[in-house]
Amino acid sequence: GENVEQHPSTLSVQEGDSAVIKCTYSDSASNYFPWYKQELGKGPQLIIDIRSNVGEKKDQRIAVTLNKTAKHFSLHITETQPEDSAVYFCAASPSYGKLTFGQGTILTVHP
Amino acid sequence: DTAVSQTPKYLVTQMGNDKSIKCEQNLGHDTMYWYKQDSKKFLKIMFSYNNKELIINETVPNRFSPKSPDKAHLNLHINSLELGDSAVYFCASSQEPGVNQPQHFGDGTRLSIL
């Protein structure tokens, strides 16, 4: 089955800096890669996703890149703000909504 | 106007008891899921239903039984609760399973076994 590795497990940045979280996956059949943000006491919230026919996608301060050959994808957050502090999860899915999640990254943005 | 709602939010019970968690979505989605998040925040899929039919059934003890009375509801019943069942259980929904669609999560049910 699919295996997703996520790094780093914790990331601390100053407000205004950029943050990058990286994930690798094992199943070459995976074709859908969402990123979720989870705040304390809440469920995961989708922030951006990318499909295997696209190499990069951007939404305001958030961007995701995908390298299918190397089987890795990354989340980039620019101009970080304290409200970006949360746990971020990457995930991969070959089909039928079967998401396999990474281990999560605790992002702390210091004012 | 909660899109995916779960009840109860907290559930504290004794080992050996049977309990149920309910989930409802008002997004008009065809597919619903149950996930388990352990104490290390690791999220793992348990089940998925599409239009009341089971389509994903991961390696989960048969003490866990999902039930979907209609496509807007997916409940999770757990028999003979064990200490290791303590976790946060999330319900999610998406439009259809065949082509990956964004999954929308509820805010979870925190289950604590004493």
What average pLDDT does the structure give for chain B? Answer: 92
- Residue B92: exposure state from Cβ atoms within 10 A (0-12, 13-18, ≥19): buried
Q: Is B107 on the interface with A (CB under 8 A)?
A: yes
The pLDDT tens digits of the residues spanning B34-76 come to 999 999 999 999 999 888 888 888 878 999 999 999 999 999 9
Chain A residues closer than 8 Å to B94 by CB: 97
* Least confident range of A16-25, A55-64, B98-107: B98-107
Single-letter code of the amino acid located at A36: Y
Binary contact (B103, A99; C-beta < 8 A): yes
Q: Is A99 on the interface with B (CB under 8 A)?
A: yes
The gap from C-alpha A69 to its chain's centroid, in whole angstroms, comes to 18
Can you say how many angstroms the Cα of residue A96 is from the centroid of all Cα atoms in its chain?
20
How far, in Å, are A20, A21, A89, B9, B85 from residue A75 at the CA level? 6, 5, 10, 30, 32
Q: Check if A1 contacts B (Cβ < 8 Å).
A: no
Return the number of other C-beta atoms located less than 10 Å from residue B77's C-beta. Answer: 14
What is the mean pLDDT of the segment spanning A95-108? 92
CB B107 to CB A42 under 8 A? yes
- Quick one: pLDDT at residue A76? 98
Q: What is the mean pLDDT of residues B12-39?
A: 96
